Chains A and B, each alone.
Chain A
Amino acid sequence: MSGVMGWLPYAVAGWILLVGLYGLATSRNLVHTVGCLAVAQSSTYVLLLAVGYRSGGTAPVYSDAEPGTPVVDPVVQALVLTDIVVGATVTALLLALVIQIRKRHGTVDPERLTELKG
C-alpha cells in the first residue's frame, strides 16, 4: 500500500474513536451514550482490518482460491469477529440496564440521575 490509502484507514479509525469519545462526553440521553460506545468500538474494527490488509489480497477462503493467491490476514478477521461478539454482548446488557433505568427513574437524561455523587 502506498500513498493516501496507506494512512487513510488509520486516520479514519482515529477519527471514529474521537467522534465516539466526544459523543460519550456530551451525551444527554443514555441510549445515545450506549450508541456512542458502539461507535467508539467501531474504530477497532477499522484499525484491525486495515492492519491485516494486503495489496491485491482476496478473502482468506482457500476452498475456491488457486494455491499461491495472495489473501488478507485471516487472524485479524477472527479478532474482529470476536470483537463484534463482545461488542454485541456489552451493548445488549447496557441497553437492558438503560431500559430498567427508564422504568425505575422515569428518565434517560443522565443529568437527572443525581443519586450518586460526592
Chain B
Amino acid sequence: MPSTVDLPPLAVAVPLFGAVVLAVAGRWLPRLGCDVLAGLWAAADVALLAWLWGATGDGRTVSWVGGWVPRAGHSVGVVLVADRIGSGIALLAALMVLAAVGYAWRYFEEPSGGHAGVFPALLLLFEAGMVGFALTGDLFDAFVFFELMGVVAYALTGYRIEDPRPLHGALAFGVLNSLAAYVTLLGIGLLYARTGELGFAQIGAALDASGKGADALVVCAFVFVLAGPLVKAALVPFHFWLPDAHAVAPSPVCMLLSGVMVELGVYGVARIYWTVFAGPGGIPADAVRPSLLALAVLTSLVGAVMCWQQRHIKRLLAFSTVAHVGLFTAGVAVLEPAALGGTAVYVAAHAGAKGALFALTGVLLDRFGSVDEAGLHGRGRELPVVGALFTVGAVALAGLPPFGTGLGKGLAEESAKSYAPWLPWLFTLVSAVTAAAVLRVALRVWWGAGSASHGHAGDPETSGGGEEPEVRAPRRTLPVVLVAVPALLLAGCLAVGVVPGVAEAFDQAARVFCDRPGYVAAALDPGTAPPVPPGPAPDWWSAGAVLSGLLSTALAVAGAAVAVWAPGRVSARARAAARRCHLAVRPLRGLHTGLIGDYVAWLTVGLAGLLVAVGALR
C-alpha cells in the first residue's frame, strides 16, 4: 500500500504508464480490449486522486521526488505539493478524462491513427500533463508539464488528420501556446537569475529575503511567467486560438479542453501569484488586482458578445467558455479566499455543464454531419432526449438553482462585491447572455422554433455546415453512452450544488491555498506549518445567490425567446436598432481572422500592455 506522500507522484506516473501500455498493447488488443483497459486506467487514477483529496484534508501533502528532502531549507530535488485546490482540480481532470474515455468508447467507429490504442493513450498522456501541472510545486516542472499537456492537446485537436479544418485549428493552438510557454521560460530564467531557485516556495522566500521589492526585473519576470497560463486560460487578447481549436477538435477532446484544461490556466495564474509573488518581495496586490480584473472583465464581455454571434454550435460553446473563464478570473482577481473558494465550486460545476453540452453537440455531428444552427433547424425533433438534456445544460450554464454553477457564481459574487459592487451584475449578465445563446440553439434545432435563416450576408463567420462526421457509419442506432455520459456530467453539475459540505470544503481549501507562509513552511520546513484555522462557514445558497441565479436564468430565457421569435413581429424601428447593434460588433468579429500572424501580434500587444500596467501600478 502506498503512503500518502507517494500519492502525488503516483497520480502522475499511473496515467503515463497507462499511455505506454496502451500504445504498445493496442497493436494486438481488439478495440474493446483497448477501451476497457483505458477505462480501468482512468478509473484507477480517479481513485488515487480521490484518496489524495481525502488524505490531504485541510493541510498539504508534500513529496520530494526521489527522496531529495531539503536540509536546512535547501534541496536540489523536485517537489510536488498537493493541497485541496490542487488535488481537487487534478481530480476534476481525471473525472473528465474518464468521461471522455467512456464517451469515445462508441464515438469513433473506425479508429484512425494506426490502432485502437492510440486515442486513449493520448487521453491518458494528456491526463498526466494536467495532473502534474496541478500538483507540482516547482516552476520549471510546471513549464514541462504545461508543454506536455500542450503538445498532447495539439495532437488531439488535429487528431482527424484526414479533415482540413482541425489541422488549421491545431496549428494555431500549437504556435500560440508554445510561444507563450517559451515566454514563461524566459521569466523562469529571470527569476533564477535573481534567486538561484526554481521551486515556488523557494523563489518566493528568496524574493522576500532579497529586500529589493518589485523592481523592473521582478515585474518583467511576473508578466513573462504568467504569459503561458494566461494564453492557456484564453484571456482576451490571448484567446484567439481557443475558438479555432475548440470548433474543430473531436467532441470528446472538446469536453476536456473546455471543461478543465482552460481552467488550469486560471489555476496556474492563481498558484504562481500566491506562492511566488504575493510576499513583500513580489508584486503588490494593488498592482495585480486591477490588472487581472481588467483582463477578466474584457474577456467575459468579448466572450459573451462573440458567443451570441455564432452559428457554428461548437464555436458558440467555445466562446461561452471564453466568457466563463473571464468570470473565473474575476473571482480569482479580487484576491479574496472566499471568492476563490466560490470560483472553485463554479469551475467544478461548469466542467460538468460544458462537458455535457459539447458531448450532446457531438451527437448532432454524429447524426447529421453538421453543427450549423441554421442548417439543423428543426432536425433535432427525432432526438427528444438529447434536446431535453441540451436544454438542461443551457439552464445549468445560466446558473439556475440548485445547479452547482449557480452556487459557485453566488459565492464568488457575494465575496467579490465587497471589492467592486458592480461585479455581481457582470456575472449575471455574462452568464445570462451565454446561456441565452445556447438556449436559442436548443429552441431552433430541437423545437424548430422561429425561422431557419441566420445572420447577415457578408459577415466574417464560420458556418457549421459541411463538417466531416466524426464517424463513418451514420445510420447506426444511437449508442447509449453518447447520451448517458452527458446525463452523468449534468448530474455531477447538480451534485456540486445540492450536496451539502462541498461549498464549505472548497471555502476552507481556498483559505489554505491563500496561506502563503504555510505553503512555504510546508515545502521547505515540514512539520512547522501551523494549520489554517477554519473561518466562518460560507452562506450555502444565500438568498442573494438564489435570486441572482434565477435572474440570469430568466434573462437567458427572455433573450433566447426574443432572438427566436421576435424578428418577424417587431416594428421596423426595432429592427433598425438591432441592425445597428449588429454593425457595431462586426469589427470585433473581423478581428478573429484565423491568421496565426495576427494572433501572435495580439499576444505581443497584450503582454506589452500588461507590463506597462503592472509596472505603473506597483
**Cross-chain contact A83 with B592 (CB below 8 angstroms):** no
Instruction: Output the least CB separation between A53 and chain B (Å).
Output: 11
**Cross-chain contact A94 with B597 (CB below 8 angstroms):** no
List the A side residues contacting B271 at CB < 8 Å.
none
Instruction: Output the least CB separation between A89 and chain B (Å).
Output: 6
**Cross-chain contact A79 with B193 (CB below 8 angstroms):** no
List the B side residues contacting A113 at CB < 8 Å.
168, 594
**Cross-chain contact A47 with B186 (CB below 8 angstroms):** yes
Which residues 116-171 of B sit at the A interface, judged by CB distance below 8 A?
A: 140, 144, 147, 150-151, 154-155, 158, 161-165, 167-171
Judge whether A24 is part of the interface by a CB distance below 8 angstroms. yes
Judge whether A66 is part of the interface by a CB distance below 8 angstroms. no
**Cross-chain contact B147 with A90 (CB below 8 angstroms):** yes
Please tell me the number of chain B residues within 8 Å of chain A, measured between CB atoms. 56
List the A side residues contacting B596 at CB < 8 Å.
24, 27, 30, 33, 110
* Bound complex: CA A79 to CA B182 (Å): 12
* Bound complex: CA A76 to CA B197 (Å): 11
User: What are 22 inter-chain pairs, A to B, with CB distance below 8 A?
Assistant: A17-B183, A21-B179, A21-B604, A24-B597, A34-B175, A40-B179, A40-B182, A48-B185, A48-B189, A83-B185, A90-B178, A93-B154, A97-B174, A104-B163, A104-B164, A110-B595, A111-B595, A113-B594, A115-B164, A115-B594, A116-B172, A118-B461
Which residues 20-46 of A sit at the B interface, judged by CB distance below 8 A?
A: 21, 24-27, 30, 33-34, 37, 40-41, 43-44
Which residues 41-92 of A sit at the B interface, judged by CB distance below 8 A?
A: 41, 43-44, 47-48, 51, 75-76, 79, 82-83, 86, 89-90
* Bound complex: CA A114 to CA B164 (Å): 11
**Cross-chain contact A101 with B168 (CB below 8 angstroms):** yes
Given A21-B604, A25-B604, A44-B186, are A116 and B154 also a contact pair (CB < 8 Å)? no
Chain A: which residue is nearest B193 at the CB level?
A51
Q: Which residues of A are at the interface with B, using a C-beta cutoff of 8 A?
A: 13, 17, 21, 24-27, 30, 33-34, 37, 40-41, 43-44, 47-48, 51, 75-76, 79, 82-83, 86, 89-90, 93-94, 97-98, 100-101, 104-105, 110-111, 113-118
List the B side residues contacting A79 at CB < 8 Å.
140, 188-189, 192
* Bound complex: CA A101 to CA B186 (Å): 31
Number of residue pairs spanning A and B whose beta carbons lie under 8 angstroms apart: 138
Question: Which of A27, A43, A111 sits near B186, CB closer than 8 Å?
Answer: A43
Annotate B585-599 by CB proximity to A: 1 below 8 A, 0 otherwise.
000011011111110
List the B side residues contacting A76 at CB < 8 Å.
189, 192
**Cross-chain contact B600 with A24 (CB below 8 angstroms):** yes
